[in-house]
Chains A and B, each alone.
Chain A
Amino acid sequence: MSARDRILARLRQRTDGQLVPPPSDFSVMTGRAWTPSERLARFEQLMTTAHARVVHTSMDAWTSALREVLHETGVKRLALGRDHEVARQAREALSGSDIALVDADRAVESWQAELFHRVDAGLTSCRGAIAETGSLWLWPTPDEPRLLSLVPPLHLAILDAATLEDTFFEVVERHGWTERMPGNALLISGPSKTADIAQVLAYGVHGPRDLVVLVRH
């Protein structure tokens, strides 16, 4: 018998017999009943507390807001995708500027050192966000790979206000995550942080030191 079979056999031949599962009442996870403005306020408050910055902009003017943020943060080299509407508009708005656009949609092996050492910021879209916890919801794609939101010192996330929902539970349920889980699904609730040294909060321990969320209304 294999280790697998022996473990499963021990679990199946349980001395005290079959356990009876209790019912689960999930209602505590729903019914927040926040208005859109309450939802947004909560999201912003939690994000800000977590040391992230929230910038409000419009669907039309967001690329100017992006340019401003890039200017303020001194970003010279921005990694981004190509196909997503966010990446397309950003590329269009930034072409001809002094900011170098670094393609993120290529095998990481071909540019790993560049990604780790010579990129100032990564730009991604977001599938949505969660008000209760102040979290962004990202499903990395070939266009916006897993490490784009992690390795550069600044993560710029473009969020549509309309995609903000109340709770993680509702996001999982309403968007049918169960049927379509990607290879990697992420919730991001601030920049990388640690309190492992004397309980003092320090940011950017492994991932981004800064997270800026541009909320498009």
Chain B
Amino acid sequence: MSVETYTPQRFHEQAHDALGNAQIRDNFRSAMDGLMAKRQESFAQWDLPRLRELGASIRQRALASLPDLLEQLETRCEANGIHVHWAEDSEQACRLIRELCQSRNAQSVIKGKSMVSEEMHLNEHLEEAGISSLESDLGEYLLQLNEQTPSHIIMPAIHLNADQIADILHDKTGIERTEDVDLMTGAARQQLRERFMQADVGISGVNFAVAETGTLCLVENEGNGRMTTGVPPVHIAVTGIEKVVEQLRDVPPLYALLTRSATGQQATTYLNMISGPRGDAEHDGPSEVHLVLVDNGRSTIYQDDQLVDTLRCIRCGACMNHCPVYTRVGGHSYGTTYPGPIGSILMPHLQGLEATRELPSASSLCGACGEVCPVKIPIPDLLVRLRQEAVGEGRGNVAGAGVKRRRSEVAAWKGWQWLATHPAAWRGATALAGPLRGLTPSRLGPWTEHRSAPKPAPRTLHAMLKRRHRGGTSS
């Protein structure tokens, strides 16, 4: 399967293309405007600062005892009849899932939405092993048909218009062409229902894994998650190790934050809480449930007191919905599984700063992401931290640290430092800016592509105040 490829290395080119694409600009702008308004409205009756504080504390508490909670989760799940597996990286996780499928002679897998499986490129891995793996979330299904990747973690096909989706469904599934959304949705329902019935294995993600009870919580609107976890004889849930929470009572606050932050809903259509396979007396549900706990770089992020905050994320997408950069360039420009602000602080750990060097700087540090994050991840501070790491000024514990260090740039900052710590020299240098303003180039690279060049004033504030002082006015 050839999937349209975007890479983080090509951020600038991809962003350039997106900025010039009216459809991309319109789709993201209008979708993000709508999501921002709905989010705000949905929190209207809440004491949001306190709710966010609670959400942050729940995630911090979970991370503070992460190894203990993972062990407790394992114990509780096993007691409930859920088999628990561990994978250190994507490759191990893919192999583990493939072997689970193969040992059950599975030919056909149906998938619910799972960002970690996107991160692992699980579909490609299963296809290579001759196991068909079909996405069942409508947006993901359409993208799989169109050989594309998601451009938003909650609304994966937001970059496509109805007429393009009409073409995809007509070309790839042979239905009569229609742009009627209900008819297209109905057609997909028919196609996917057959696949749910035939599937040997259902693979889903997990929103919250409760250590106390061994419960896997899945949050969704479509019902494909319930189908995936309820119809095939085997259910494999795959999740990052950071998704664990301590207690069941931690779930309602996180669920309240997640649905409102993501789509402005008071609740999603379904909250599906799975604590075991089909019981002895039960008549449906999978006879086997597996949980695959994936590390894939998370335990490295975990080591650092500042970076560990990255792992609080509950994948709501609010940071991208509110990001003025994401809104303009769309998700594909980032070239990573997770786009937008969360992607820019997470992907450098998963792929290294070498590949993702453009991402931490792709932010004006406006703070909108940090302001809305339901678990109060200080995203702007983490972006600054990764900028430090990229230029070799951090702690050096991120893969690819120092990759952006350039002797010329370091020298420039050293020169600036010298000047700014030698006030007389600073005054002398800045005093020259005015008299020499005629020499200011009218073109200053990227700045003057879009704006007039700033002109130094004839005299600096320092000089004006000195003159005023000499003139006898108080200063």
Interface residues of A (CB under 8 A from B): 2-4, 6-8, 10-12, 14-16, 18-29, 46, 50, 104-108, 112-113, 116, 130, 132-135, 140-142, 145-147, 150, 167-169, 172-173, 177-178, 181-200, 202, 204-208
Contacts of A194 in B (CB 8 A): 138-139, 185, 221-222
Contacts of B60 in A (CB 8 A): 19, 21-22
Contact: B157 with A178, CB < 8 Å?
no
Residue in A6, A19, A112, A177 whose beta carbon sits within 8 Å of that of B197 in the complex? A112
Residue in A135, A150, A185, A193 whose beta carbon sits within 8 Å of that of B227 in the complex? A150
Which of B279-287, B403-411, B461-469 makes up part of the contact surface?
A: B279-287
A199 and B266 alpha carbons, distance in the complex (Å): 18
- Once A24-B54, A169-B253, A184-B274 are accepted as A-B contacts, the answer to whether A206 and B189 lie under 8 Å apart by CB is yes
Interface centre among B50, B162, B266 (most CB of A within 10 A): B266
Contact: A189 with B252, CB < 8 Å?
no
Task: Indicate whether B323 reaches chain A with its CB closer than 8 angstroms.
Answer: no
Interface residues on B, range: 35 or more
Contacts of A182 in B (CB 8 A): 275
- A to B CB contacts below 8 Å, 5 in the list: A133-B256, A184-B274, A196-B156, A197-B184, A202-B182
Task: Indicate whether B363 reaches chain A with its CB closer than 8 angstroms.
Answer: no
Interface bits B252-281 vs A (CB < 8 Å: 1, else 0): 110110000001001111111111111101
Contact: A184 with B249, CB < 8 Å?
no
Contact: B248 with A178, CB < 8 Å?
yes
Task: Indicate whether B20 reaches chain A with its CB closer than 8 angstroms.
Answer: no
Contact: B255 with A168, CB < 8 Å?
yes
Contacts of A198 in B (CB 8 A): 160-162, 165, 181
B172 → chain A, closest Cβ, in Å?
Answer: 15
Task: Indicate whether B99 reaches chain A with its CB closer than 8 angstroms.
Answer: no
A168 and B212 alpha carbons, distance in the complex (Å): 18
A197 and B192 alpha carbons, distance in the complex (Å): 16
Which of B84-92, B125-133, B352-360, B417-425 makes up part of the contact surface?
A: B84-92
Contact: A183 with B275, CB < 8 Å?
yes
Task: Indicate whether B432 reaches chain A with its CB closer than 8 angstroms.
Answer: no
Interface bits B41-72 vs A (CB < 8 Å: 1, else 0): 00000110011011011101101111100110
Contact: A14 with B303, CB < 8 Å?
yes
Task: Indicate whether B224 reaches chain A with its CB closer than 8 angstroms.
Answer: yes
A18 and B66 alpha carbons, distance in the complex (Å): 11
A24 and B273 alpha carbons, distance in the complex (Å): 23
Task: Indicate whether B321 reaches chain A with its CB closer than 8 angstroms.
Answer: no
Residue in B65, B230, B248 whose beta carbon sits within 8 Å of that of A146 in the complex? B230
Contacts of A10 in B (CB 8 A): 295, 299-300, 302-303
Contact: B64 with A21, CB < 8 Å?
yes
Contacts of A177 in B (CB 8 A): 213, 248
A184 and B227 alpha carbons, distance in the complex (Å): 13
| A104 closest partner in B (C-beta) | B283
Contact: A204 with B224, CB < 8 Å?
no
Contacts of B192 in A (CB 8 A): 206
- Once A197-B157, A199-B155 are accepted as A-B contacts, the answer to whether A188 and B270 lie under 8 Å apart by CB is yes
A193 and B137 alpha carbons, distance in the complex (Å): 11
Interface centre among A2, A130, A188, A202 (most CB of B within 10 A): A202
| A202 closest partner in B (C-beta) | B185
Interface centre among A146, A185, A186 (most CB of B within 10 A): A146
Task: Indicate whether B251 reaches chain A with its CB closer than 8 angstroms.
Answer: yes
Contact: B248 with A200, CB < 8 Å?
no
B136 → chain A, closest Cβ, in Å?
Answer: 7
Contact: B283 with A178, CB < 8 Å?
no
Contact: B283 with A8, CB < 8 Å?
no
Contacts of A169 in B (CB 8 A): 249, 252-253
B214 → chain A, closest Cβ, in Å?
Answer: 8
Contacts of A50 in B (CB 8 A): 269
Contact: A46 with B266, CB < 8 Å?
yes
- Once A22-B61, A198-B161 are accepted as A-B contacts, the answer to whether A193 and B221 lie under 8 Å apart by CB is yes
- Once A22-B57, A204-B186 are accepted as A-B contacts, the answer to whether A196 and B161 lie under 8 Å apart by CB is no
- Once A116-B197, A178-B248, A199-B158 are accepted as A-B contacts, the answer to whether A134 and B266 lie under 8 Å apart by CB is yes
- Once A21-B65, A22-B57, A116-B193 are accepted as A-B contacts, the answer to whether A197 and B162 lie under 8 Å apart by CB is yes
Task: Indicate whether B457 reaches chain A with its CB closer than 8 angstroms.
Answer: no
Contact: A134 with B223, CB < 8 Å?
no
Task: Indicate whether B39 reaches chain A with its CB closer than 8 angstroms.
Answer: no
A81 → chain B, closest Cβ, in Å?
Answer: 10
Contact: A187 with B271, CB < 8 Å?
yes
| A133 closest partner in B (C-beta) | B267
A8 and B74 alpha carbons, distance in the complex (Å): 12
Contact: A183 with B279, CB < 8 Å?
yes
* Supplied contacts A187-B267, A205-B185, A206-B226, 13 more A-B pairs, CB within 8 Å: A3-B295, A7-B70, A7-B293, A11-B241, A14-B302, A19-B305, A24-B250, A145-B283, A184-B273, A196-B138, A202-B185, A205-B138, A207-B226
Contact: A197 with B50, CB < 8 Å?
no
Contacts of B156 in A (CB 8 A): 196
A24 and B57 alpha carbons, distance in the complex (Å): 6
Contacts of B325 in A (CB 8 A): none
Interface centre among B47, B87, B226 (most CB of A within 10 A): B226
Contact: B282 with A192, CB < 8 Å?
no
A28 and B58 alpha carbons, distance in the complex (Å): 13
